[in-house]
Amino acid sequence: MVQVNGDAKSDALIQVRNLHKTYTRGNESIEVLKNLNLDINRGEFIAFMGPSGSGKTTLLNLIGGLDLPTSGSIIVDNDEITKISAKKLTDWRARHVGFIFQLYNLIPVLTAFQNVELPLLLTRLSRSQRREHVETALSIVGLEDRMHHFPRQLSGGQEQRTAIARALVSDPTFLLCDEPTGDLDRTSANEILGLLNRLVEEFDKTILMVTHDPVAACNAHTTLHLEKGILMESSKTECK
């Protein structure tokens, strides 16, 4: 169960405590997140909603170790990532976080196989081990018959599935999805949402998703709302 005001003794997978994030632009300070507390357990699928500028992507970036808070702490699987050095944080992200973006971020001159393999090139896995991991990831997303195709030869939905396979290939602790269906038509979006649900139900993955789409949020276990940097109580989205 997600808790917006977590207990300090929580054993949740992700624990966010007293989180503040402020950006400075010239002489102006902009407080993006304000005293945010949050617990997320393993195997949860959480949707974050709210207007543009409410801090949704900032929160995802902080939990994923892409940015540092102004104050407060984030503990993921017993690692307090807000106290890890920059070099160790890079290694931590590679082991624990799978990123899925709205625009896929595939490299056009690489095949689907090569795009998915990229995160593994910095590991100590042998070539045959990398192949096994990549083929498994592409099989999970249903693209084993498209592995030698280039992005231009894939549909938008297939490109996003390739990006999901890339996020999965290192077996991360959790997935961060920033508008993963925002560039897709409704049919392709529903296919991607079905895949994300499968990752939770069959593979016990933990997923945190930012979305503006109420239909996408319906697929999550819980929807959390950010309003002007303040996390509102959780709710179950009404789905028709």
Structural domains in the chain, sorted by start: 14-231 (3.40.50.300)
**pTM for this prediction:** 0.89
In angstroms, the first-to-last Cα distance of the chain is: 23
pLDDT in tens, 109-167: 999 999 999 999 988 899 999 999 999 999 999 999 999 999 999 999 999 999 999 99
pLDDT in tens, 193-230: 999 999 999 999 999 999 999 999 999 999 999 988 88
Q: CA 192 from chain center: how many Å?
A: 14
Sequence-distant (≥ 6) Cβ neighbours of residue 191 within 8 angstroms: 157, 161
Q: CA 110 from chain center: how many Å?
A: 23
Say what the pLDDT of residue 237 is: 47
In the predicted model, is pLDDT for residue 6 greater than 70? no
Mean pLDDT on 17-31:
89
In the predicted model, is pLDDT for residue 240 greater than 60? no
The band of 87, judged by pLDDT with boundaries at 50, 70 and 90, is confident
